[in-house]
Amino acid sequence: MSKLKVILLRHILVWALFIGYELAVIKFTVGLIASPLQLCIYYSLNILLFYLNAHVILDFAFFRTTRPYLIAILLILAEMLFFLWVKLHVDAWLAGGTAVNYALTKAHEKTYLTNIFREIFFIGFSIAYWSMLYMVKFKEQNHVMEKAHLKQVAHTLELENKYITAENAYLQNQISPHLLFNSLNFIYNAVHNHSDRAGKGVMLLSELMHYSLLSSQDNRMVSLAEEIKQIEKLIELSTLRFDNELYLKLSKKGRLKEVQIPPLILVTLVENMLKHGDLGERKHPGRIDLEVTEDALIFKTANLKRLSTPHLKSGLGLKNIQKRLANLFPDKHRFNKIDNPTTYMTELILYL
């Protein structure tokens, strides 16, 4: 059985008990003088008054107005006058259709007072019913809010625990970069006297690692000029690696020092190009084009594709770039990849 049907049956049962009790008391005290038709009409009016007062008058006054108590009193008075007028007309109709006399005479005083007290009786019970209903709803809403608050607190604690776990893992992982950085310094000191080329390569790698380590400590921004400086070191390191047989052109336009960007975004694009691209063709060099306009930073890479490569193409670096851009510049960037059979190009536009 649905919840609505259960509530309806409860209301019917309560009204049946109430009406039965009243009729029993009247029968055994003064005797019943009204016909079944009159009783049905009068009790229907009283029940209508009860629910109209609770679900229309009080709901409107307290939930849709700024001065609920004043509005409720005025509407209840108007409601009482209206039902008194209806009751007088019903009485006249049941009496054979006689005309209604509104005169405030001694003869009508008892009729007016009886009907008014009867209305006050049902309106009073209606107010009590509405108050109880409101308190139940308030408790339910409060319970729902407390439950939602507890869920939010639990979610916050879960996020804090995850953050602490991630932070601990991050601090633990710092051991590896620091160890590598210090090891590279040791290797440089050991080999630079014997080979300038090897020593220079180790130093460039050490500087790139240092930049990478510092830049990953937070979500800070770096100057575009500093990022380009690291790109130039990466290109120089790759040139040493391939014994100067690396053909790559880098062009820069605009005011680089005035732009701030997230670190390692452009470096990763160039590293991906150096890792997977074929940059050994003099006639088809790779290209890196950077331009800063008044409202945008435009960064493009283009290179031939290697026919075979020892490196697996996981795409993790580019996916990380896209995630960072989506977090930092959700509506202010555009990133495109063009993967042709022989060439590969990327284009990044940051709207300043």
Pairwise CA distance, residues 116 & 81, whole Å: 9
Residue type, 172: Q
Q: Per residue in 191-238, pLDDT tens? A: 666 667 667 777 777 777 777 766 555 556 888 999 999 899 888 888
Q: What is the pLDDT of residues 17-68, one digit of tens each?
A: 988 888 888 888 877 677 888 889 989 999 999 999 999 999 999 888 999 8
Cα distances (angstroms) measured from residue 251 to each of 5, 224, 237: 78, 14, 18
What pLDDT, on the 0 to 100 scale, is given for residue 300?
95
- Residue 300 · residue 277 · CB < 8 Å: no
CA pair distance 331, 310, nearest whole angstrom: 37
In the prediction, which pLDDT does 172 show?
Answer: 45
269: tokens are: 């694009």
Query: Which residue positions in the chain have pLDDT lower than 70?
Result: 1, 32, 103-105, 107, 163-195, 197-198, 213-220, 309-315
Residue 313's pLDDT is what? Answer: 64
The whole-angstrom separation of Cα 352 and Cα 339 is 27
Paired residues of 345 in beta bridges: 302, 338
Secondary structure (3-state) at 31? coil
Domain boundaries, the chain: 34-151, 246-351
End-to-end CA distance of the chain: 62
Q: Which residue has the tokens 């009860």?
A: 50
> What is the CATH code for 246-351?
3.30.565.10
* pTM for the predicted model, two decimal places: 0.49
Report how far residue 192's alpha carbon sits from residue 187's, in angstroms, rounded to the nearest whole number.
8
Q: With helix as H, strand as E and coil as C, how does 317-339 read?
A: HHHHHHHHHHHHCCCCEEEEEEE
Q: What is the pLDDT of residue 190?
A: 62
Burial of 45 by CB count in 10 Å (0-12 exposed, 13-18 middle, 19+ buried)?
A: middle
